[in-house]
Amino acid sequence: MLNNPLVKKLLSKIVEKEHEEILKKRFKETYPDEETPDGIDNLIRALELPPEEIQFIANDIKKTVEETIIPIINSLINGTDTDEEIAKETGIKLNVVRKILYKLYDLKIANYKRSKDPETQWFTYSWKFEKEELIKQVRDECEKDLNTLNKELDKEENNMFFVCPYGHIRCTFDEASDEEFLCECGEELEFQDNSEIIEHIKSAIKETESDLNSFTETVEQ
């Protein structure tokens, strides 16, 4: 189940949030008088990050999910319930295990019980993986993505689009008509053949539906 693309996408939020905070700080330092965008995609565009840096972020997210987060969840599934035992079992540093466990808690897909040792007076945290919550979130996120994709497909299939030759704007026929088919830069807007965009959206819908079916089959076994 954990290797399903939809599960990995959900778990990626943990690492994406860390990169988002780093990029937000960078944006504020670079553009102190501008409003800081929300979301990692918007920040990447606003900062105009080079392809190699975007690839580095993508690789780091993928590696952290596959080599750190999933092994920790597998330990929880296998019954290992303390941070020290998980660290020993996975070989992941204890401070990293603790950080990930609390991130999973924030996502509500892990929970813990705290108990006090009567002799040492130390607190012990016993962690538990919330499988049903993960399943619910994956399905909810998938349905939301499919809804967005279908709306985008409907818009692309039922409109004509015009673009600035320099990539400043993209708008529908009605929007272009309101601007007399001129971009704010003064260039005349050009008709755009959006057939490739439509095919890309259809492919994304098909892939997402396939991943959801695969996920459903796995959790129902």
Distance CA 131, CA 9 (A): 16
Q: Is pTM, for the whole model, over 0.75?
A: yes
Residue 120 pLDDT more than 90?
Answer: no
Listed by start position, the domains of the chain span: 5-129, 135-220
Q: How confident is the model at residue 121 (pLDDT cuts 50, 70, 90)?
A: confident
Which of 14, 101, 99 shows the shortest CA–CA distance to 64?
14
Identity of the amino acid at 206 = K
pLDDT digits (tens, 9 = 90+) for 17-72: 999 999 999 999 999 999 999 999 999 999 999 999 999 999 999 999 999 999 99
Q: How many other CB atoms sit within 10 Å of the CB of residue 87? A: 19
Assign domain 5-129 to a CATH class: mainly alpha
The pLDDT, as a whole number, for residue 54 is 96
Pairwise CA distance, residues 108 & 102, whole Å: 9
Beta bridge partners of 112: 127
